Amino acid sequence: MLMVVSPAKDLDLTPLSSALSLSQPALLADAIELAAICKQLTPTDLASLMHISDKLAGLNVARFTQWQPPFTKDNAKAALFMFNGDVYQGLDAASLSMDDLAFAQQHLRILSGLYGVLRPLDLMQAYRLEMGTKLGNGRGTDLYAFWKASIATNLQQQLNELQSNVLLNLASQEYFKAVDKKQLSARVITPEFKDYKNGQYKIISFYAKKARGLMARYVVQQRLTSAEQLNQFNLAGYYYSAEHSSADKPVFLRDAN
C-alpha cells in the first residue's frame, strides 16, 4: 500500500541533528524548471498569483532567489521534518523510529506544487507554491497541467516496486487533483474523518487534517499493507463506522475530542 499526503504552508527550518539516510527528490529536474519561472517573479507578481500578503510575498521571493541545488544536509532538510502543518502534527515524525522512517520512505509520498512528489527523507529547500496556483509554464496554464503526467508515473512506479495495487489518499482535494488516476493501476482508498458536533457527525477541517496524519502514522507503525487493515485505525478516539462507509471511502467517527 502506498500513501499520499499534502504538504504544509508552515515550515520548520530548524536543522536536524540525527544521522538520517537522506535522499534527493525524484522529480528535481522538473522542480528546477518551475523554480526558474518563479525566480523571475517580483513580490507584487507573487502576492497577486498566490493571494498572499506583501510580507509573505517578499519572504518567498527571497526563498526562490536562494533556492539552488544541489541539496545537502547543510542547505536543505528532510521533507517529513520540514513540513509543520496539521497533518504533520498527527504524523509526529520526530517520535518515529529509524525502522518506522525506513518503512515510511517506501510507503509514504508527499505531493508538492514545486517538487511534484517527495519521499519523507528527500532533501528540500524552503518554498511556497501551492498546487492550485495558476502559474503559466511550458506544459500549460497551471501546475495541474505541469504535473499531470509526472506525478502519476512516479506513483505507479512505486506501486509496482511495492507490488501493490492500493493507493491510500490522505491528501486534500487540491493536491490529489494533480494525480491522474487514469494512469494508475490501483484502487484508490479515500478515508473520511468526522467529529460529532451539534448533534451530527461532520468533517471539521483542523481535526480531519490531523487525523490524516494520524492514519499515516498508524499505517507506518503497524506496517499495514492492505486496505482491509485500515478499518483497525483507532487513534485519538476515532473508530471505523461500517454504516457510514463505502468500499473505497471508509468513514471514521469520533464522539468527543
Query: According to the model, what pLDDT value does residue 16 have?
Result: 87
Q: What is the mean pLDDT of residues 226-238?
A: 96
Asked if 35 and 67 count as a contact pair (C-beta separation under 8 A), the reply is yes
pLDDT of residue 19: 79
Tell me the CA end-to-end span of the chain in Å, nearest whole number.
Answer: 29
Q: Give CA–CA dist 251/241, Å, rounded.
A: 6
Peptide bond before 7: cis, by omega within 30 degrees of 0? no
Give the model confidence (pLDDT) of 10-69 as tens digits.
Answer: 999 998 877 789 999 999 999 999 999 999 999 999 999 999 999 999 999 999 999 999
**Helix-helix angle 28-38:143-162, to 10 degrees:** 160
The whole-angstrom separation of Cα 179 and Cα 53 is 29
Residue 256: per-residue pLDDT: 76
Domain that holds residue 34: 2-14+21-254
Query: Average pLDDT for residues 166-195, to the nearest whole number?
Result: 97
Mean pLDDT, range 224-251, rounded to an integer: 96
Q: Does the pLDDT of residue 178 top 80, yes or no?
A: yes
β-pairing, 123-124 vs 166-170, is: unpaired
Residue with cell 528532510: 78
What is the reported pLDDT for 10? 96
β-bridge mates for residue 158, sequence order: none
Q: Which residue has the cell 528527500?
A: 122
The rounded distance, in Å, linking the Cα atoms of 207 and 257 is 9
pLDDT at 113 over 80: yes
Mean pLDDT of the chain: 96
User: Tell me, what's the pLDDT at 23?
Assistant: 97
pLDDT on residue 18 = 72
Which helix (H) or strand (E) segment holds residue 50: the answer is: helix 43-50
Nearest-5° Cα angle at 26, 169 to 19: 95
Handedness of CA 49, 180, 117, 85 (dihedral sign): positive
Backbone dihedral angles phi then psi of residue 117, each to the nearest 5 degrees:
-135, 130
Measured torsion, CA atoms of residues 149, 154, 156, 157, in degrees rounded to the nearest 10 = 140
At 201-226, the pLDDT tens digits run 999 999 999 999 999 999 999 999 99
Mean pLDDT of 93-102: 96
Q: What is the pLDDT of residue 17?
A: 75
The total number of structural domains that make up the chain: 1
